[in-house]
Structure 1
Amino acid sequence: KAVRRLYDTESVQIKWPNDLLLDGKKICGILSELQLDENGVIDYAIVGIGVNVALSAADFPAEVAATATSLNTSLHKDFTCDQVLVAIMEDFGILYDKWLLLGADVVMKEWQKLNCTVGKHVLVKDNDQVVFAGTVIDVDEEGAIIVRNEQGIVQSFNFGEISIR
């Protein structure tokens, strides 16, 4: 939401579970880890966000040049990394407050609105090995993707990564 607002674009979408795409190319990756206490309550969470802000096309290695881009290059803007960081932290704070007050459902609904994965044919991978292939038919309330293969078998995944085909 912060990138969409700052760059005045609707083209940024979420690829399950943790990437941001701009016109199908990766501009951001998000990794998170959490620790639960003995009662199953979140003790802490660590979130790492990497955003391609000001890289030129020549800055990308050949193996990712076709699948990655930067915000300034693609959207013909000239924002600094600091400006992008401030926008992200502002929106992160707003979403965190919503989560504290209203629970995860509110944040999940906003996440689902920006998701571009439903309806796409995907390869589900775990440790770079394909474990399932099919079409994403939904994302459940806990963030797991629901995938149906060509034989009609439906499986839920709350781990791994996907390649959109």
Structure 2
Amino acid sequence: MTIVWRIETFDTLPSTQETVKDRAAKGEAEGFVVQALEQTGGKGRHGREWVSPKGNLYLSILLRPDYEARRIGEFSFIAALALFETVLEHVQDQSLVMLKWPNDVLLGGKKCAGILLESGLQPDGKVDWLVVGIGLNVTSAPPIGSALTDYAQNLLDIALIRDKLLAHIDTYISLWQDKGFNEIRRLWMSRAHKPGAPLQIKLGETLKQGYFHAIDEGGNLLLRLENGGIETITAGDVYAIGD
């Protein structure tokens, strides 16, 4: 599969995500991309704000996958792999880059990129549209985050980074269509926490501790508990113990 990307770039937007969702609802075709050089109302997971000053990459892409709604989450792992490859091309040292469940990219142990999925469904329950929002810290980051410029081995051009990211997304969508989510899952786990890594999971006001085991065929986190049991985590914030 080769997606023909149609990119619209704006100096400032409240949110690339809201712009693409609006166009999706009006029938815009797959491959539509909105990039903003700055966002005044950037969105993260669970309604959180994504701080969006100039100098970083903010974009949302429109896809129209003909699949059941239960498979939407698989695209988070596709986008994460694409981001991993994009970041790695600029820092050259794979040991600095790691994926964290469910949809973050870490650089030097701190978050440098995040992914947001939002969708609309058809009456039969299949996906009508899927908007994948991506934020990548290129030249600046919050105090708890990291940016490409902290580790980059070359000059950074945001348009070039964007184009490489879109090319990687296309590649991983093709792989997913050809070999299924199990291959995406295998590749994701090879770039994430090592099995046995101690983790803390925040679920609302509840904290759980255990060890990274794997992700299952539904993309859920499998946490190995002290008693040897395996608990399935479907949502939550993950922290490596020692961070």
TM-score tier (shorter): 0.7 to 0.9
Alignment check: 8 A CA contact 1:54 1:78 kept: no
Q: Name the structure 2 match of 1:114.
A: 191
| d(CA) in 1 for partners of 2:109, 2:117 | 23
* Equivalent pairs, count: 156
Match of 2:138 among 49, 53, 57: 53
Alignment of 1:68 onto 2:145: yes
| d(CA) in 2 for partners of 1:117, 1:51 | 24
| d(CA) in 2 for partners of 1:54, 1:39 | 44
Query: RMSD of aligned C-alpha atoms?
Result: 2.1
Task: Give 1 or 2: higher strand fraction.
Answer: 1
Letter in 2 for 1:94: T
| d(CA) in 1 for partners of 2:181, 2:129 | 16
| d(CA) in 2 for partners of 1:76, 1:161 | 31
Letter in 1 for 2:148: L
Letter in 2 for 1:134: G
| d(CA) in 2 for partners of 1:115, 1:47 | 21
Cα 1:98–1:80, aligned 2, differ >3 Å: closer, same or farther?
A: same
Alignment of 1:30 onto 2:107: no
| Structure 2: gaps (5+ residues) | 1-84
CA shift, 1:74, in A, is 2.3
Q: Name the structure 1 match of 2:87.
A: 3
Alignment check: 8 A CA contact 1:54 1:80 kept: no
Match of 1:92 among 157, 164, 169: 169
| d(CA) in 1 for partners of 2:230, 2:145 | 30
Q: Which aligned pairs between 1:134-149 and structure 2 lie closer than 5 A? A: 134-149=210-225
Letter in 2 for 1:8: Q
Alignment check: 8 A CA contact 2:106 2:112 kept: yes
- Give the % identical residues: 25
Cα 1:123–1:89, aligned 2, differ >3 Å: closer, same or farther?
A: same
> Which portions of structure 1, spanning 4 or more consecutive aligned residues, are displaced by more than 6 angstroms?
none
Cα 1:34–1:73, aligned 2, differ >3 Å: closer, same or farther?
A: same
C-alpha distance after superposition, 1:63-111 (max 9, x if no partner)? xx2x311111223532122221111111001111222233222222221
| d(CA) in 1 for partners of 2:195, 2:154 | 30
SS at match of 1:53: coil
CA shift, 1:131, in A, is 4.4
The TM-score normalised by the length of structure 1 is 0.81
Alignment check: 8 A CA contact 2:200 2:238 kept: yes
Cα 1:163–1:48, aligned 2, differ >3 Å: closer, same or farther?
A: same
